[in-house]
Amino acid sequence: MSDDAPVRDTTVGAAAEPDAPAVDPSDLPTAEIWVAEDDLPDEDLDTRPLDELLDDLYHGQERISQADIYRRAVAAELPSQLLSRLSALPQGEYSVDEVTDLLGGAQP
């Protein structure tokens, strides 16, 4: 190395100590996390309103589109967790058995 080349010191501050953290975790800001009721696990979700809706919808019908099922569910004011499940279904037509299997209802 020549005397004219600048020298850079890379061992400044906490980086000089190999086991020291670069940032003190106690100095980091904290935030409270709120969970909406809809985001909670739905293991205890009552699917009876969905089952009743599907009974009415499929009376005399072989297959019904996801859009029609969702529209009727909104009109019936089903809980938002059930509406979320319905909106997550891919577009298309479903038999009562198919939609029940996909949504986890107690039907057939």
In a domain, residue 9? The reply is: no
Which residues in the chain land under pLDDT 70? 1-43, 105-108
In a domain, residue 18? The reply is: no
Region of 60 please: left (phi>0), alpha (psi -120 to 50) or beta. Answer: left
Contact 87, 55 (CB under 8 A): no
Average confidence score pLDDT of the chain: 77
Contact 107, 96 (CB under 8 A): yes
CA dist list (Å): 99 to 50, 52, 76, 77: 11, 13, 17, 19
Question: Which residue segment(s) compose the domain that 67 sits in?
Answer: 38-103
Query: pTM for the complete prediction?
Result: 0.58
Give the pLDDT score at 35. 47
In a domain, residue 11? The reply is: no
Number of structural domains in the chain: 1
Chain segment 51-61, per-residue pLDDT in tens: 999 999 999 99
In a domain, residue 24? The reply is: no
In a domain, residue 60? The reply is: yes
In a domain, residue 33? The reply is: no
H or E element: which one contains 93? Answer: strand 93-94
